[in-house]
Amino acid sequence: MMRPRLAGMTAPKEMAEKWLRVLMPWRGGQSPPSKDPRQEEERRVKANDRGYNEKFLYADNRIKTSKYNIFTFLPVNLFEQFQRVANAYFLFLLILQLIPQISSLSWFTTIVPLVLVLTITAVKDATDDYFRHKSDQQVNTRQSQVLIKGKLQNEKWMNVRVGDVIKLENNQFVAADLLLLTSSEPYGLCYIETAELDGETNLKVRQALSVTSELGADISKLADFDGEVVCEPPNNKLDRFVGTLTWKNNKYSLDNEKLLLRGCVLRNTEWCFGLVVFAGPQTKLMQNCGRTAFKRTSIERLMNTLVLWIFGFLLCMGVILAIGNSIWEEKVGGKFRVYLLWDEVLNNAVFSGFLTFWSYVIILNTVVPISLYVSVEVIRLGHSYFINWDRRMYYSRRDMPAEARTTTLNEELGQVEYIFSDKTGTLTQNIMVFNKCSINGRTYGDIYDEFGHKVEITEKSPCVDFSFNPLRDKKFRFHDHSLVEAVKLGEPAVEEFFRVLALCHTVMPEEKNEGELMYQAQSPDEGALVTAARNFGFVFRARTPETITLCEMGKHSTYQLLAILDFNNFRKRMSVIVRNPKGQIKLYSKGADTILFDRLAPSTEDLMYTTSEHLNEFAGEGLRTLALAYKDLEEDVFAEWMVQLHEASTALDNREERLALLYEEIEQDMTLLGATAIEDKLQEGVAETIACLTLASIKIWVLTGDKLETAMNIGYSCNMLRDDMSDVFVITGHTALEVQQQLRSAKEKILGPTREIANGEKDLEKMDLYRNDSVFEETITSEYALIINGHSLAHALEADLERLLLDTACLCKTVVCCRVTPLQKAQVVDLVKRHKRAVTLAIGDGANDVSMIKTAHIGVGISGQEGMQAVLASDYSFAQFRYLQRLLLVHGRWSYLRMCRFLCYFFYKNFAFTLVHFWFGFFCGFSAQTVYDQWFITLFNIVYTSLPILAMGLFDQDVNEQNSLRHPKLYELGQLNVLFNKRQFFMCTLHGIYTSFVLFFIPYGAFSSNVRDDGSHIADQQSFAVTIATSLVIVVSVQIGLDTNYWTAVNHFYVWGSLTIYFSILFAMHSNGIFTIFPSHFPFVGTARNTLTQTGVWLVILLTTTVCVMPVLAVRFLRTDLYPTMTDKVRHTQQASRRQRPQEQNLKRVRRTSSRRSAYAFSHQEGYGELITSGRNMKVAVPVFSLLRKRGEPATGATVVPWSSGSGTREGENTQGQ
């Protein structure tokens, strides 16, 4: 037997890799394949032969999305944490402090906060990973029926192996990628739902090979099945599979239509059996899942850079002071050596300077204290709780609050520039609702008051009573009572209208119990139309290949199905030809109005114009419209047409063209009945949210697995696409060259007006520079949209075209990518991340969104109808898309503002605090003597100044939440990153240096000539230290008062409380009592009392505070008065109206003003017509008659004449709604 051809894989290497995975699993999230899929050239799988398959070391069906295990957690987590420059910096300082010759501070001042920070972060990471382990365990322990040793046995998913034959039952998830062998349906058909893969809930058809479908449910035959599959290696292409099955010396080709992918759900099929081809991490679903990356905010990355800068600045100061020490020891120190002997390790001035350098490195390290990172984590944690506690982001219908699943990304919520959104379940509810209709020139669906004025329909509006219909769908809601009255009065046009809806479709009914109908539709649109007909009294009950049975106002009628003229992307319509119970032949058609109107009889011209006006109204409201028509056929005409149809359907050449011509021939001179309007229900507040986010200069790209026209319809409904746009570019090229030409054409059309230079010549060099400038995007005055499908996107994402795609897309107001795979979603996000210095956010609700959620800077999961996979992979989660507006414009903007102000103030106060040592070095012989006592140095950041800055970082706000939502432009501050950047850091540094200079030299100058009240000298070192320390605490307290915009009781308590604590501890440390207990630690008795009782000292403190603060006040006053920002203006307005109770802005529903017809027909897909007429999806030809006889209900209708010549079905073909 042949082994799979592997490039350079040997058994010892494979075993080594296997053990290495046990000890060091991938940090990327999902567990690795047993070998690199790129090295596997082909895969060989033998059914029911584990021994053969295990030779190849294929991956088992266990999945792993966690990052750590018990053995790897500590080393891997510490490695990740020490990637943060500050942690490595503090570890280095800790090592220095353990050297007694250079350390003047105790080692515990660094190790305690360092261990605290590492522990808090590790606990948080361990908690997050625990939930990932828990989720993996839930999936891995699901049960599946596996055929082992001739018997079906229940096995956990993780124990399933490649080559196993497993049984699936209705509504079960597919455990692995399976080759469909046999099913309960005729011809080996089965129906699946692929919502986890592409977000679509409509059914898709898969069909087994005829040779394997004959195995049926016979366990003995299935156990003896020993076919061998040779196929492509694991890959992420969801729509492609190539392989062959070898069995009984025959080869059979395999394609994607024979494969059931992991994540799909079996629907409308009692059971099926499949052969496992790919398992676990090698399944196509898992191959499309991105890695779990360690996300950092841009501010955190900047802080890493700034820490390096500060460390360099610290080294420079240390070198200056070390050189000063060497010079001082050489020139002056020798005179004191008789009294101040050198330590034994010292032997010259240069070595003294070397030791002094390291001493100053330790002393000056407080310029970046570790308390900074403790405070940052506390503030982030607080912001996360504010999100969790926000009642306005709580969805009461499902008892679901918003949840911040991470604490490290809050401030980046205030800097988002690009949002990548899924459509189905995220923007929409994936629920189609029959909203309005036009029948014979009259519209139905609106309600009016007694004065004839239209009334807005709400949830409280009274609904139509459908109790007259025992077969109604109780969930169906309609508000216009006049339509029910028209049905009850038996108006012919109304009856014929609903008869079209009940007959012209490919829906499959399922009735398990009497009256409990379930419709399996290939699209939600069809389901909504058939359900509407059902509620209005025209109930679709059953179908066979030759008949359709309706219950019309309580009376059963059977229609003979003569032909189905199925939908396709060129026809944009569907028709059925039936013989009604009266023996009349009718053609019923539905489709896009632009298509159907061209095929109407001239006599319906007036009705067509009236209906067209109604369609414009419907389209303007964002509804998906569809026109309905019918035609009476003569027996002889139809018989002749059927003969031609039979000839065309059996032709060997130009079959499709000949069928299309025949369809076109009979679908002429139809009579218009009216039009339907279906609402693809958006989630509440979607249009308003998108409008508001767009005003905040956030670009929203829609990435969906849906069809192009469906995505466009939603784009129009959301107001992302509008008729007044200059152009909408649709990229549908099938080759790389076509895609390149279409993208270049779009880009040239956008850039056209900017190309012409004043003298009429083209300066290419200047144009290239201009185009590369990010500001250029803002100069595009016209609005454009770009829509690209999955096949074209695959070419556009190649290395030589991706930049062209990005440039063109970024010049457009709206970008919609449709028919994209989960991996393509992640690639689009990654493209923007790599080439645009912008923060990205991805939002989705299904497993097909996990990859882009992990790839984006911020991932948001919506707990929707497609499970919790997106939520589990996300950084933030909530129940409705509309909450994104509040998350970004309120919580995100405030978090960014607070963090920036916190960092600016923190760096300022620590430069002011630390650089006093630098100035003092010039007056203490560069001896590394500290100005303050050790206890003040220890407590300054932990006690004296920690709480006020935490209060500002947690509660401050420039404007309130109402104005944050009312003025989305305020959000641009975060996008431009103007509140904390390298320039702002430089300004904070200068401010801190200035403050430290004033703090040292004003007291120094005053003390050099000042005396106490009793005439004695005041200038001892401890009195000097107390004066500077007191001045510092007061100055930074005043400064935080100036920086705080929003005062709460907590702010007041912390500021005044911190000052109280400072003076309390100061007097306690210099008291007689503490000296008595700890004489060696607190030797300076009475210093505080003696110093702070002097009037001169308080005058020095007042002068120092004034000189430090007045320049800041002057600059801020002039800047606000002369150059007010938008924030200043909004805050001024807010303060002026403070006496009035602020009212939150009520954004009215954004209505479309589009004349574009959002036709369902444009978004529909090729149906199951061929399957229905061929009977391949029917178990029994006439089950409805036996059913009706059992109920004692006579079936009325024409005699069923089997029709076999007009199906147009070629042997071996399978038309599927894919």
* Eight-class DSSP state of 996: H
Q: Are 880 and 683 in contact (CB under 8 A)?
A: yes
**Residue in 314, 414, 321, 420 with CA at minimum distance from that of residue 96:** 314
| For helices 371-389 and 946-955, angle between their N-to-C axes, nearest 10 degrees | 30
Which residue in this structure is represented by tokens 């989720």?
A: 135
End-to-end CA distance of the chain: 37
**Residue in 589, 590, 575, 584 with CA at minimum distance from that of residue 557:** 584
Which residue in this structure is represented by tokens 């629920």?
A: 431
Q: How far apart are CA 788 and CA 817, in angstroms?
A: 5
Indicate if 422 belongs to the active site: yes
Beta carbons within 10 angstroms of residue 780's beta carbon = 17
Which residue in this structure is represented by tokens 């129009």?
A: 716
- How many alpha carbons lie under 13 Å from residue 287 in its C-beta half-sphere? 21
Which residues partner with 247 through β-bridges? 250
Q: What is the phi/psi pair of residue 864, to 5°? A: -105, -150
* Eight-class DSSP state of 1210: P
Which residues partner with 542 through β-bridges? 549
Structure tokens belonging to residue 20: 């290495």
Beta strands across the sheet bearing 259-260:
151-156, 143-148, 165-169, 271-278, 177-183, 259-260
Angstrom distances, CA of residue 1118 to CA of 982, 1124, 1127: 23, 9, 15
Structure tokens belonging to residue 1108: 């430090």
Q: Are 503 and 580 in contact (CB under 8 A)?
A: no
- Amino acid at site 1006: A
**Residue in 1022, 1012, 1015, 999 with CA at minimum distance from that of residue 1103:** 999
Structure tokens belonging to residue 942: 């932990």
Angstrom distances, CA of residue 1210 to CA of 211, 693, 1170, 1206: 18, 52, 9, 11
Q: Are 949 and 376 in contact (CB under 8 A)?
A: no
Q: Are 440 and 405 in contact (CB under 8 A)?
A: no
Question: Dihedral of CA 544/548/553/554: which sign?
Answer: negative
Q: Are 957 and 894 in contact (CB under 8 A)?
A: yes
3-state DSSP call for residue 443? strand
Vertex 804 angle, CA 800 and 810, to 5°: 145
**Residue in 695, 762, 685, 748 with CA at minimum distance from that of residue 717:** 685
Query: Length of the chain, please?
Result: 1218
* Eight-class DSSP state of 1102: H
- How many alpha carbons lie under 13 Å from residue 1162 in its C-beta half-sphere? 17
Q: How far apart are CA 81 and CA 78, in angstroms?
A: 5
Structure tokens belonging to residue 714: 């939603």
Q: How far apart are CA 1070 and CA 1076, in angstroms?
A: 11
Question: Dihedral of CA 580/582/586/591: which sign?
Answer: negative
Vertex 695 angle, CA 693 and 699, to 5°: 55
Q: How far apart are CA 200 and CA 425, in angstroms?
A: 9
Q: How far apart are CA 621 and CA 623, in angstroms?
A: 6
**Residue in 635, 636, 614 with CA at minimum distance from that of residue 625:** 614
Structure tokens belonging to residue 841: 């956010």
The active-site residue out of 129, 164, 390, 422 is 422
Indicate which residues carry an active-site annotation: 422
